[in-house]
Structure 1
C-alpha cells in the first residue's frame, strides 16, 4: 500500500496475495469497485478512449 510509509522496511514484506486479500476485505464497494478513504486531495487521471 502506498500509504504505508515503512512498507519497504517490513521484514518480511507482505505478499502480493496478502495485499490483494486485505484490499478486497476492507475496500470493496457493493458495485464491485474499490474505495479507499483519505483526507488528502486526490487527482484522478483517466486515459482517453481510443
Structure 2
C-alpha cells in the first residue's frame, strides 16, 4: 500500500496550516516505511514506525 500527502506552511498573514499528517493503516500496527521529502531536497526514511 502506498499513500501520499503534501504538507505546506501557512498561506496567510500570521497563519499556519496543521503540520500533522494522518494515514490509515487498516489492521496493520506499524508503517513499514515512511519517506519524507524535505523542501531542501533531502530525503528522510523511517522504517517500522509503530501506529499510535
What's the TM-score, normalizing by structure 1? 0.25
Could you state the TM-score of these two structures normalised by the residue count of structure 2?
0.25
Larger radius of gyration: 1
